[in-house]
Structure 1
Amino acid sequence: MSASSAALSTPHADWHGRVEDNALLRGAGRFGDDLKPEGALAAFFVRSPHAHAKIARVDVAAAKAAPGVVAVITGADLEAEHFHSISHAHPIPGRGGKTPYSPDRPSLAQDRVMHVGEPVAMVIAKTAAQAQDAAEKVEVEYEMLRPVTDVREAVKPGAPQLWPEAPGNVGFDWTAPQDPDGKKNAALEKAFAEAAHVVKVELVNQRLVVASLEPRAATASYDLDNNRYELRCGNQGFAGLRAQICEAMSIKPDELHVVAEDVGGAFGMKGWLYPEYVPMLYASRKLKKPVHWVSTRSEAFLTDNQGRDSVYTVELALSKRGKFLGLRVDVAGNMGAYFTGVAHFVVTLHISGCLPTVYDIPHAQLNARCVFTNTLPTGPYRGAGRPEASYLLERVIEAAAVQTGIDPAELRRRNLIQPAQMPYTTAFGSTYDSGDFPAVLERALARADYAGFAARKKAAKKQGKLRGIGLGCYLEIAGAWPEESARISFGDGGRVDVSIGSGASGQGHRTVFGNVVARRLGVPFDNIRLLSGDSARDVPGFGAVASRSAMMCGGAIARTTDLVLEKGKRVAAMLLQAEENEVAYKDGKFAVKNREVSLFEVAERASELARQGVIPESLDTTGSIKVPPSFPNGCHVAEVEIDTETGALAIVNYVAVGDCGNVLDETIVEGQVHGGVAQGLGQALTENTVYDDSGQLVSASFMDYGMPRADTMPAVAVEHFAIACKTNPLGTKGTGEAGTTAAPPALMNAILNALPEGANLDMPATSDRVWKALQATK
């Protein structure tokens, strides 16, 4: 770790654990199903068994007569309320200035179902078992339509047209960089025409199930006296979810109270409005009772937004010496049956925001098509375009190393952006403020003993094993929405309440941000209470997405502490009968020579003075920041051994060197990297969401969907190479998505390095696929 971050970090030796863990390890957490109020009714959803069909008839009479049933809600009931679509694409301009086409997505399908699992009716009963039993009595008559599930098939002539307004099933066509006079494209074409080498790869970034530890759960209620709905459900930030629900139901923000307590994993999936929530809220008002629902794991496979699912054609132009001259990327992204809010960002802005990652590539172009299919909608999943960007570039660089005969590490070395080039503006317009990419690469190579690999490969060969080493350099654009707020207020007994808008789902926000406040105010950590997740209490924010919480919420907290101390000095000067510029602050006390007063005494007196009108406001303060994105980066090195008889592989070494800016808590950052690598490993080696031609999800349980196992996960050597970000108060860059971004290319490059030249392989590299790729080279 660099010296620049040492003063800000909580190092291992002084680490006393996450304050969140005590309750969680004792089973005292408060998750979605723990919050069911007494007397709440239970909901169960009738879902389409077909991927594409017209709804000819829905008969709920038998279900209504079933024991314990209180109501059965259908799309017709919601239509009478004039509710709107529950999701639509954020309107960014695409090719020719056209914005995405967003088909209407009802909470309960009424005319047509577009994917397996789409809800058609909601049964409400006194118990969950009664609701589930009654749901089987709902009769739905379907008229089958031909589905299409594969993004490549969906754009072919003759494919079923899902929405007339999206010809060829393309809902959004996009290109970058903007090139109104054609000069950038001309320069790119010239670079390719003059290149000594042009390398082309075709890649698949397969669809993934998010599989959060806690399935979605929700409780809806209605307060008639105050004309206010309440929704308790796991989310990543209440403000976005509340806005989506209010738009769908045509209600005002103050008519909806959104609350989340503990959330068991989110990864981007829990940032959005889902079909279940609107009919539950409607029913709670109609029935005058709370309505509770918990997704089963089987439902989660069929209803939670899924991730990735895109195909790529990548071309890289190189000079004779291996200098990168130009990059061209074409992508088709599978949006599923409907657009979710920023699903199209994943294959557009998020990829272009990362490219050309750590490499100096003067000319580049990205062309993207967002395609509708009869599958569950996709959305952001840990990384959301960042893993895709690094994967496509690292894979084509590896292919270029083979084609040119240049060592993979040396080829990267020749093309890295140098520190002297900072700030560096990419061909797509992003500006990197800081970083030392060559030093990061060299440190990763040294830690992985890259120089000694040839000897290890030779030794493995003697044992009948194939050994390979792979690099995964990465750079991410982090931050998303550039603004964030925090509020600090003072309570009784020396308590400091800190309110933020990002919802935690395992990241350790209370620990990290509590320490930030404690260090900056010089007060005991135990006096700090971090608050989030309650729309009636907390400041709104953009949410815990895009590796943004440390830089955005942390930065907003830092700014707010500065404002508190500025106000505090003015009040302390009055109390100490001194000039403001004479007042110093240290270790929770304002002092002038031998006179001092504590922060809490000043806060208490400031409240009194504000009530008396002596000063305009107390020390309770809301602060905000507006900052550009940050660009965390690094290099992972994976080393694998493959059994030639079975295709089974073992990860024998894994090194992760990363620059996430100033490190606020070393242990938590390491945990984030470990978790990210585990999920990236899952994509690289085991996970694959498979729909058959009829639109059925055939990998709809953990029996068929290959989650990574503990014995697959290697020991990960994590090293921080911190270069402080220059554009936010804490100098942080984000780290939550580093592992999922770097692990897939590092592992796949290692596997391909082990296999004979000419082997072709897409993720996941299961033992069966590896064995088949090996046989194909014989």
Structure 2
Amino acid sequence: MRAREARCAPRRFARGLAFETIAPFARTVSPIDDRKNNTPRRRAPADRGRPFYEGVGGQKQKKPFWPALAQKKVHYVGQPVALVVAESAALAQDAAEEIAVGYRDLPAVMGFEGATRPGAAQLHEDIPGNLAFEYETGDAAAVQAAFAGAALKTRLTVRSQRLVGNPIEPRAFLASFDAGSGVFTVYSPSQGLNGMRGFLAAATGLPGEKIRVVTELVGGSFGIRSYSYAEHVAVMLAAQKLGRPVKWGATRSEIFLSDNHGRGLTLTGELALAPDGGFLALRFEDGADLGAFSTPFGPQIGSRNITITMGGVYRIPAMYAHTRCAYSNAVPVSAYRGAGRPDIACVIERIVDRAAAEHGFDPIALRRKNFIPPEAMPYKTANGTTYDCGEFEAVMDKALLLADWKGFPARRERSKREGKLRGIGIATFLEASAAGVAPKDQAYARFDASGVLHVSCVSQSTGQGHETAFVRILSEGLGLIHENAGERIRIHEGNLDLAVVGNGTGGSRSLYGAGSAVKLLAAKLIETAKPLAAAALGADAVEYRDGKFEAGSKAIGFFDLAKKLAGPSPHPMDCVAEGSFGAT
């Protein structure tokens, strides 16, 4: 289905190329000769994003200054040191090869353990011990008492290693600056233009109304395109300095070096059990490697995100978690595919399996015994999270049936006779999703001169097919699912000429948030159009069914009415629907 508007980026622009360091931690001793280039050396303020909650003792996160281009020190391999701007990418590459930077190596610290060990090198002058944030949740005393009296205990450490997101489309950014208005127009992949505009405003110190963000088709994200990067700020500075559009695009190898990483977590869990296998208490000691600087969401991954559902699907009377986040000489960590929630789910399930193996329980029976039952919903966990619903035993039973769990022994024996190994495992999974920061989600309906319906919301597709899903929701709501209505509906995820409130894509939110607003929009469109349809049919009132407004023997289709009324702006059927969905 056709769903998007097309916007024309500037056709003539200079090409930017980022020169990145090869040293993990070093002092620059032979700086770039600024007489040979016009690279802007200004710095931008670090992103202002911090956890919205306090840490141990009411502490706030310690955040180092993050320059757009490295100043005096480099802190990780891949950190931008200079931006070369030329008429073509080839010329920029040639110029970059003329740059010579000398480094005096400093002792680098790698990983959470390396960053927090006694005597480790300090990355930032104002952050002793490299410790950024310390957080706890739950009841430590209750957990300690439960462990002291527990007959059975199990302990497990899981390292969720760093990874590169590696989307199908490498990162790119184009910026132009209008000196008369002081407005930047930037073209960038994102997970919602409102979010990207906010992060760019925080990084540059500019008011949000001075930054216009255009996002077209996005080739993959899963979190790593949510925020602004150092290269973005440098390109904006270059466009302002040169007075012409500047475009930068990363190569595949560059995104492996400089895109935000995911994971970087070390999670140690302990489970206390009664002799019959009942869960008594759960505790975690966690470490998060933030990398050299703090992305807006980085510390939240290693604190609240991995603890909000730390009990999984199990009824556990006492829980406690203590987490620490530290800086290291590596690429900064940000949200990627679940942002800590899959990691904690993995650890919980592995602890349950280990407890079953160590203490002689059947892993299915152990889970069944400790599931939160449906009649306990809504259920408040020992660390304060409320689960609204869940039928975990029924879901597991369905999975066992579909997997033919009982037939596994026979399949294993067959494989053994064939000289093969066969295994089977099970995991149950729960996560908090659909969180957002905007107070509500809106969907705007605007009709053009030909009666085509244009719907604007903020959520940004990065390959999920929002265009198809949202059009289907509207078509069903309007009773036009069999009328090829998609040909007359366009979805715009971000409208530069319309201030739409809403949350971007992230945390499995789009269908729940923007999708719900779109569903409400269908009903709002019908109610808005009813008096207009009555006037068109010369009736006092109309009923709406199967895509038509009816009054006795007279009827007019929804889009026929829209076309009939087209012409004046705004169109009389234009309207907006909104609501607050999930955690906002």
TM-score range relative to shorter protein? over 0.9
Which of 485, 491, 495 matches 2:452? 495
Aligned-partner SS, 1:429: coil
Counterpart of 2:547 in structure 1 is 588
Q: Is the 8 A contact 1:57 1:140 kept in 2?
A: yes
Q: After superposition, where does 1:293-692 map in structure 2 within 5 Å?
A: 293-481=248-436, 483-523=440-480, 524-537=485-498, 539-576=500-537, 583-600=542-559, 602-603=561-562, 618-629=572-583
- Partner amino acid for 1:584? E
Q: Is the 8 A contact 2:178 2:184 kept in 1?
A: yes
Deviations for 1:687-712, whole angstroms, at most 9, x for unmatched residues?
xxxxxxxxxxxxxxxxxxxxxxxxxx
User: Aligned pair in 2 of structure 1 residues 45, 608: CA closer, same or farther (>3 Å)?
Assistant: closer
- For residues 145 and 491 of structure 1, the distance between their equivalents in structure 2, rounded to whole angstroms, comes to 62
Does 2:206 align with 1:251?
Answer: yes
Q: Is the 8 A contact 1:85 1:104 kept in 2?
A: yes
- Partner amino acid for 2:459? S
Q: Is the 8 A contact 1:335 1:372 kept in 2?
A: yes
Q: Is the 8 A contact 2:454 2:492 kept in 1?
A: yes
- Partner amino acid for 2:156? V
Alpha-carbon offset, residue 540 of structure 1: 4.3
Q: Is the 8 A contact 2:456 2:495 kept in 1?
A: no
Counterpart of 1:44 in structure 2 is 17
Q: Is the 8 A contact 1:501 1:538 kept in 2?
A: no
- Partner amino acid for 2:23? H
Alpha-carbon offset, residue 457 of structure 1: 2.1
- For residues 407 and 45 of structure 1, the distance between their equivalents in structure 2, rounded to whole angstroms, comes to 56
Deviations for 1:540-585, whole angstroms, at most 9, x for unmatched residues?
4321110100101101111222222232234444555655xx5321
Deviations for 1:562-616, whole angstroms, at most 9, x for unmatched residues?
222232234444555655xx532112222233333333455567788997xxxxx
Alpha-carbon offset, residue 365 of structure 1: 1.4
- For residues 317 and 544 of structure 2, the distance between their equivalents in structure 1, rounded to whole angstroms, comes to 49
Aligned-partner SS, 2:512: helix
Gaps of 5+ in 1: 1-17, 24-28, 65-70, 178-183, 612-616, 631-778
Q: Is the 8 A contact 1:236 1:545 kept in 2?
A: yes
- For residues 489 and 453 of structure 2, the distance between their equivalents in structure 1, rounded to whole angstroms, comes to 5
User: Aligned pair in 2 of structure 1 residues 534, 300: CA closer, same or farther (>3 Å)?
Assistant: farther
- Partner amino acid for 1:307? G
- For residues 98 and 36 of structure 2, the distance between their equivalents in structure 1, rounded to whole angstroms, comes to 5
- Partner amino acid for 2:522? T
Alpha-carbon offset, residue 303 of structure 1: 0.7
TM-score by length of 1: 0.71
Deviations for 1:15-73, whole angstroms, at most 9, x for unmatched residues?
xxx768xx9xxxxx999xxx774331111111111111223342335743xxxxxx333
- Partner amino acid for 1:480? A
Aligned-partner SS, 1:142: strand
Which of 117, 120, 136 matches 1:156? 117
Does 2:82 align with 1:128?
Answer: no
Identity of aligned residues (%): 35
Does 2:17 align with 1:56?
Answer: no
- For residues 100 and 417 of structure 2, the distance between their equivalents in structure 1, rounded to whole angstroms, comes to 65
Deviations for 1:619-659, whole angstroms, at most 9, x for unmatched residues?
322222112359xxxxxxxxxxxxxxxxxxxxxxxxxxxxx
Gaps of 5+ in 2: none
Q: Is the 8 A contact 2:19 2:82 kept in 1?
A: yes
Q: Is the 8 A contact 2:473 2:519 kept in 1?
A: yes
- For residues 504 and 446 of structure 2, the distance between their equivalents in structure 1, rounded to whole angstroms, comes to 21
- For residues 372 and 52 of structure 2, the distance between their equivalents in structure 1, rounded to whole angstroms, comes to 33
Alpha-carbon offset, residue 467 of structure 1: 2.1
What is the alpha-carbon root mean square deviation over aligned residues?
2.5
User: Aligned pair in 2 of structure 1 residues 215, 389: CA closer, same or farther (>3 Å)?
Assistant: same
Does 2:229 align with 1:274?
Answer: yes
Which of 195, 202, 222 matches 1:240? 195
- Partner amino acid for 2:28? I
Aligned-partner SS, 2:283: strand
Does 2:46 align with 1:85?
Answer: yes
- For residues 352 and 484 of structure 1, the distance between their equivalents in structure 2, rounded to whole angstroms, comes to 27
Paired residues in the alignment total 578
Aligned-partner SS, 1:204: strand
- For residues 576 and 353 of structure 1, the distance between their equivalents in structure 2, rounded to whole angstroms, comes to 56
- For residues 351 and 569 of structure 1, the distance between their equivalents in structure 2, rounded to whole angstroms, comes to 49
- Partner amino acid for 2:552? K
User: Aligned pair in 2 of structure 1 residues 369, 234: CA closer, same or farther (>3 Å)?
Assistant: same
Alpha-carbon offset, residue 494 of structure 1: 2.9
Deviations for 1:354-396, whole angstroms, at most 9, x for unmatched residues?
2322212222112111111010000000111111111110110
User: Aligned pair in 2 of structure 1 residues 607, 254: CA closer, same or farther (>3 Å)?
Assistant: farther
- For residues 70 and 52 of structure 2, the distance between their equivalents in structure 1, rounded to whole angstroms, comes to 24
Alpha-carbon offset, residue 453 of structure 1: 1.3
